[in-house]
Structure formats: C-alpha cells, structure tokens
C-alpha cells in the first residue's frame, strides 16, 4: 500500500462517512502513505492508474459504484462500512467499527472475489426483481435514516402483504423456463440482515458461480412459511420456490425496474447476467482468501 485513493460518500451512514474519512486520513498520515481523497461524485474525473489501493467509505451502493474502475486490475479495495446494509463488509467479516475496519486493511489479508456483469453494469452482491426490488427501491430514505437497516425489515413485512406476480421467461445453462414469480434474485453473495441468514444454499464469493432464488408464492401466509424455511436453512426447490447455481442467466424483458447492489436500475432490454471469476481484489477478514 503505497498510493491510496480514498473515496468518500458523504451521504452514507447518516453523515458518519465524513467522520470516518478523518480517521482514514489520520491513519494514512501515521503510516506515511501517500493518498488522495475524493467524493463519490468525482469518480469519472479521476485517474485510477496512479493508485494501488482504493478505500471506499460508505455502503454497498458506494462499493458498487467503485467496482467498474478496479475490476480485473491489481488494485486492492479496502472497505470502511458505514451504509445502511453493509452486506459485502459483513460477508467479508469487516466490522462497522472504524478502528477494526482499518485493522483489516493493515493486516493485509487479500481475497480475490467474483463479480457479476448485468448487461453493461457490475455487481458484487446481488440483482433483484419483484419483491426484493420493492423492498430496496421503495423503502423511504427518511425511514432508513431513522431505523437504519431495520427499515428494510419493516418494508419487507409491508410488501409481503401485497405480493404481485409476474410472468418471466428465463434461460440458464441449456435450460429455458416459463414461470410466474413474485421475486427473482441473482446472488453472488446471498446474505441478508448482515449475516443472519442467506437466500442461497452455497453462495460463496469466489466459487465461479452465482445463486438464483425464485419465489413463486403470492399468498402472504405461504410467503412467511417459505421465509421461515430460508431463516432455518430448510430451503428446497418446488412449487413455492426455486434454488439453483449457474454462471449465466437471462431474463426476457421489455421494461422493468430492479436493483443492483441496492441501487435502483431500469432495464429496457433483456437482462443477461454472467459471472466474472475472481475479478476484484479486496482486503478481507474472512477465510475465503
């Protein structure tokens, strides 16, 4: 770590990111490391070739915006989590405590993790349509500011009471299916509510595959039964849900709105998802290195 780019999202973590930026700068000063600090909105005007390390201060949305600039390079990503969900940090066992997060960077343990390419965009965590997208995209910012990640849980209960089904034509590997579903999730990391449970069975960040979860039920009672099976890791494919792994996945689409790593995204054409194996280097506190 010789030349560091600090990328700060000033709106993350109820403005906690500004405080964390001062701590990161102090840390780099003490280590006598060269650095430059920019706002998340200055990414496109920055020459990344000058830096060997990039430290992102923010949540999953912040990391998602940084990924296109470092994917398939030797640059190492350091994460200082202070967003609403911080799911990638949780998967990598990076604490939301600033001093512990900096310790992960100092220890220098590096993981090579997969990423997803979704049409012309990139993702580290997951892509979602239907119910999953409604929770992410329609939870009011005021609610997130007040309750943090718990706001998504409250929205999840509300939207579960009014599930909407939609017809999808999907294809993966050598299969093509026509289904009616309330939710489709493609997950490189399937953990939710930090690491309390996962919508996938074997979802790993470096296995060259991503997990597909398709929820078919519309009845709220059947939904909560399926939800309990997810929580207690009793997941199985059947008439209510589908679970499988693949390296490519396509959804026939004319126009729909979904989310990529928590960021609302509009899709006008078919949605094609492919894995990019071990394409991002990141400081990690987990055993996937």
Q: 133 in helix, strand or coil?
A: helix
* Residues 71/279, Cβ–Cβ less than 8 Å: yes
On the question of pLDDT at 289 being above 60, the answer is no
Nearest to 166 by CA among 183, 152, 188, 151: 183
Token pair recorded at residue 97: 């405590």
Per-residue model confidence as pLDDT tens digits over 125-159: 999 999 999 988 888 878 877 887 778 888 888 88
Q: What residues does 3 pair with on adjacent strands?
A: 34
Rounded alpha-carbon distances, angstroms, from residue 230 to 203, 223, 260: 13, 11, 21
pLDDT in tens, 230-279: 777 777 788 889 999 999 999 999 889 999 988 899 999 999 999 999 99
Kindly report whether the global pTM for this prediction surpasses the value 0.95: no
Closest residue by Cα to residue 163 from 183, 179, 145: 183
Q: Which domains does the chain have, with CATH numbers?
A: 3-116 (3.40.50.10330), 121-276 (2.60.200.40)
């Amino acid at each position: 770590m010789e030349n560091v780019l600090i990328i700060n999202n000033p709106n993350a973590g109820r403005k906690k990111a500004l405080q964390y930026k001062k701590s990161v700068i102090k840390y780099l000063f003490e280590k006598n490391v060269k650095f430059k600090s920019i706002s998340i909105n200055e990414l496109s005007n920055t020459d990344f070739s000058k830096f060997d390390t990039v430290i992102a201060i923010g949540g999953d949305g912040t990391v998602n915006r940084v990924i296109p600039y470092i994917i398939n390079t030797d640059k190492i990503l350091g994460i200082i989590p202070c967003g609403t969900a911080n799911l990638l940090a949780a998967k990598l066992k990076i604490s939301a405590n600033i001093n512990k997060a900096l310790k992960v960077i100092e220890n220098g343990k590096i993981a090579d993790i997969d990423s997803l390419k979704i049409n012309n965009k990139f993702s580290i965590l997951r892509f979602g349509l239907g119910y999953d997208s409604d929770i992410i995209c329609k939870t009011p910012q005021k609610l997130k500011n007040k309750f943090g990640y718990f706001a998504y849980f409250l929205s999840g209960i509300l939207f579960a009471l009014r599930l909407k089904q939609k017809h999808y034509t999907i294809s993966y590997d050598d299969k093509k299916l026509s289904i009616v579903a309330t939710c489709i999730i493609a997950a490189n990391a399937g953990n939710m509510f930090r690491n309390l449970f996962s919508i996938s069975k074997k979802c790993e960040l470096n296995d060259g595959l991503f997990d597909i979860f398709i929820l078919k039920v519309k009845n709220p009672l059947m939904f909560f039964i399926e939800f309990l099976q997810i929580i207690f890791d009793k997941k199985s494919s059947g008439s209510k849900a589908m679970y499988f792994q693949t390296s490519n996945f396509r959804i026939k689409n004319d126009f729909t709105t979904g989310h990529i790593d928590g960021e609302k995204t509009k899709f006008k054409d078919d949605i094609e998802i492919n894995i990019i194996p071990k394409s991002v280097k990141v400081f990690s506190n987990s055993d996937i290195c």
